[in-house]
């Protein structure tokens, strides 16, 4: 398998060299997708442009019932890289480059495994995951795809992850009454004061959910990401905006949580409550359905001889496959702690382990 690892590193070097940062997502049907097509000569390849730099490639050989999914877009590189982020290098057992860990390393492993085998296989490459814009996956799932199982690549230490949190992003707008800050009504007329009181109640509510559990995960994750509003210190704020997000357990209902957060605002203070993005939990569904799907995913991982890891707090597009009824888990090389970091890296032995397992699965 040493020569297979050499091919993985060669493919990864090529994949890292393509600028697929998202944003700005200046991604076309050429570039990285042309490269993948040329490396999968015995596959039927369909490239689809979903608009605004969202491009997908479905590569199929034979008549498989299982699809491997991996996204090719990366986050923008932060300042501080010691070398150009699109030029891969290897040092001390680490492969370093933008996207090497999240998750072009898996894409390289899939291509190398495909070329080392001849069995049925299907790969779905996408380019919009990092923007929480799942048009590639949604379009695939809306098609007559014919697949029953999905394995979604994200950094999981080469362990099958059966469960993770959902995610919801929300925009709140509070309304107040402008006036001089010396007025007696300043305490209750300010939109910013309404927002702060809402925030205190929201933090208390989240603390009250700390006893909730599912599949090794505990409590509700919550973050106020941005607060803005007002004019100046001596003017009562007529408006304020809050952007917050929460990450529920698979056993928590999104609508109930939205209702709870909305009711925390003082009467008449809330001018707008808008969910701007939602990603379901993995497994998707109510408590009974989620547990049944988790057990199905566990059985599939056992059948494929993959070690099962703990549930994770980060969100993945695996939940979209699960919601569509496919038996799904997350599986890929690397550590999520290295994703989105300066000098992002994935361990060479993780790439070897991942590729070996994909070869074994495709040969079976």
Residues that are catalytic: 129
Q: Tell whether the torsion through CA atoms of 137, 141, 145 and 147 is positive or negative.
A: positive
Long-range contacts of 193-198 (CB under 8 A, 24+ apart): 193/237, 194/240, 194/265, 194/266, 194/269, 194/270, 195/227, 195/229, 195/240, 195/241, 195/242, 197/266, 198/172, 198/174, 198/242, 198/264, 198/265, 198/266, 198/269, 198/270
Spell out a b/e string for 272-293, using b for 16 or more CB atoms within 10 Å of the CB, else e. Answer: eeeeeeebbbbbbbeeeebbeb
Paired sense of beta strands 221-229 and 121-126, if any: unpaired
Cβ distance 299 to 291 under 8 Å?
no
Strand partners, 152: 69, 330
Q: Where are the alpha helices (DSSP H) in the chain?
A: 2-17, 32-39, 105-115, 135-142, 186-189, 191-208, 254-262, 287-303, 318-323, 348-363
First to last CA, the chain: 17
Cβ distance 74 to 20 under 8 Å?
yes
d(CA 241, CA 42): 53
């Amino acid at each position: 398998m040493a020569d297979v690892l050499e091919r993985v590193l060669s493919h990864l070097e090529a994949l890292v060299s393509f600028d697929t940062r998202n944003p700005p997502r200046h991604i076309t049907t050429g570039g990285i997708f042309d490269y993948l097509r040329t490396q999968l000569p015995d596959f039927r390849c369909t490239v689809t442009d979903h608009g605004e730099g969202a491009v997908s490639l479905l590569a199929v050989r034979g008549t498989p019932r299982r699809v491997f999914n991996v996204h090719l877009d990366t986050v923008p590189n932060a300042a501080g890289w010691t070398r150009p982020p699109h030029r891969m290098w290897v040092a001390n057992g680490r492969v370093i480059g933008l996207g090497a860990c999240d998750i072009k390393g898996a894409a390289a492993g899939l291509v190398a495994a495909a070329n080392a085998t001849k069995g049925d296989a299907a790969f779905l490459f996408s380019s919009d995951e990092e923007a929480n814009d799942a048009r590639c996956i949604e379009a695939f799932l809306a098609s007559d795809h014919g697949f029953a199982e999905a394995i979604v690549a994200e950094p999981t230490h080469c362990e099958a992850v059966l469960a993770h949190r959902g995610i919801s992003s929300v925009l709140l707008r509070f309304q107040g009454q402008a006036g001089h800050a010396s007025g007696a009504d300043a305490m209750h007329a300010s939109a910013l004061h309404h927002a702060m009181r809402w925030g205190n109640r929201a933090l208390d509510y989240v603390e009250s959910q700390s006893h909730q559990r599912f599949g090794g995960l505990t409590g509700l994750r919550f973050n106020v990401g941005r607060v803005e509003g007002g004019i100046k210190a001596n003017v009562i704020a007529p408006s304020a905006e809050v952007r917050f997000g929460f990450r529920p357990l698979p056993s928590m209902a999104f609508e109930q949580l939205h209702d709870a957060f909305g009711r925390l605002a003082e009467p008449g203070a809330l001018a707008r409550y808008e969910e701007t993005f939602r990603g379901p939990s993995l497994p998707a569904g109510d408590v009974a359905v989620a547990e049944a799907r988790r057990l199905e995913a566990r059985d599939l991982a056992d059948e494929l001889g993959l070690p099962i890891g703990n549930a994770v707090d980060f969100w993945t597009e695996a939940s979209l496959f699960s919601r569509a009824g496919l038996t799904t888990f997350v599986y890929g090389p690397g550590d999520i702690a290295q994703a989105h970091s300066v000098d992002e890296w994935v361990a060479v032995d993780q790439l070897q382990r991942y590729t070996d397992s994909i070869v074994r699965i495709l040969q079976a």
